[in-house]
Amino acid sequence: MRRCPLAVLLFLLCFIVLTTSAFPQSFKKTRAEGLRGDSRAQYELGVMYAEGREVKQNYSLAKVWWEKAAAKGHTGGQYNLGVMYAEGKGVTQDLARAKAWWEKAATQGDPRAQYELGVMYLEGKGVKQDYTQAQTWFAKAAAQGYAGAQYNLGLLYAGGQGVTQDYAQARTWFEKAAAQNDPRAQYELGVMYAKGEGVKQDQAQAIAWLEKAAAQGHAEAKRKLSILIGRQP
């Protein structure tokens, strides 16, 4: 048997030490906790690999760590796995799997997952379009203050989709989302006041809400605003 020269052994030892020490201490600490089974650390490791934070970006390893966290019931891991499958990041796009992971997180009360399920049913993406199911999931997320869900719930009430048309309810949910600076909700409130839908027609209020939306780059709000201002005496 040929013996490995001492120089080669020293080179290999130095290589191992250097590659191990290349990782920041925070990553090594988090990895050690993840290996011990800490779901929070496992989730955070997934985020580090997905974002390329302190390590080289690697979606495959992000998936591995999120699966470990998700198996322990970590909603963040479950939600992020849903996003991976929905967008096809590091995996083959699979809306059925995305839905399955989001359902696990949503049933534990994760508003982001509840919102995503609402969108799936609203758009018929990966599921049969069902406005009633969309309303159910949006309502759960909206009750937790999720602005996107509040906005979409407002749209459902304004359009009478999955619910009885109710402009008062639409206005309520738009106002909640608008208070969180959602430009789409601010635009819808502007339109409601401009047309007098569910509220007393009020051009000043319409302009005020459209200005808020336009200031955030909402193109249609800018167009509508120029029309309303042009009509003023």
Cβ-Cβ contacts under 8 Å for 51 (sequence gap 6 or more): 57
Q: Token digits for 130?
A: 């069902």
% residues pLDDT > 90 (the chain) = 84
DSSP state of 90: S
Contact present, 141 and 118 (Cβ < 8 Å): yes
Q: What pTM was estimated for this model as a whole?
A: 0.85
* pLDDT at residue 232 is higher than 70: no
Radius of gyration of the chain (CA): 25
* pLDDT at residue 11 is higher than 90: no
* Candidate from 22-36, 130-144, 174-188, 199-213 with smallest mean pLDDT: 22-36
Q: Which of 10-14, 54-58, 190-194 has the highest mean pLDDT?
A: 190-194
Rounded to the nearest integer, the mean pLDDT of the chain is 91
Q: What is the pLDDT of residue 3?
A: 52
Residue with tokens 């997320």: 141
- In angstroms, the CA 207 to CA 189 distance is 10
Helix (H, G, I), strand (E, B) or coil at 141: helix
CA dihedral 181, 221, 204, 167 (to 10 degrees): -70
- In angstroms, the CA 29 to CA 70 distance is 20
Between these two residues, 179 and 26, which has the higher pLDDT value?
Answer: 179
What average pLDDT does this structure show over 43-62?
Answer: 94
Contact present, 39 and 68 (Cβ < 8 Å): yes
Q: What is the pLDDT of residue 9?
A: 46
Q: What is the pLDDT of residue 21?
A: 47
Of 157, 149, 195, 154, the closest CA to residue 174 belongs to: 154
- In angstroms, the CA 182 to CA 176 distance is 9
Q: What is the pLDDT of residue 23?
A: 60
Contact present, 103 and 109 (Cβ < 8 Å): no
Helix (H) or strand (E) holding 127: none
The full DSSP string for 169-209 is HHHHHHHHHHTTT-HHHHHHHHHHHHHTSSS---HHHHHHH
* pLDDT at residue 18 is higher than 60: no
**For 66-104, what is each residue's pLDDT tens digit?**
999 999 999 999 999 999 999 999 999 999 999 999 999
* pLDDT at residue 20 is higher than 80: no
What average pLDDT does this structure show over 35-46?
Answer: 95
Contact present, 72 and 65 (Cβ < 8 Å): no
* Burial of residue 233 (number of CB atoms within 10 Å: 0-12, 13-18, 19+): exposed
Between these two residues, 12 and 193, which has the higher pLDDT value?
Answer: 193
**For 113-124, what is each residue's pLDDT tens digit?**
999 999 999 999
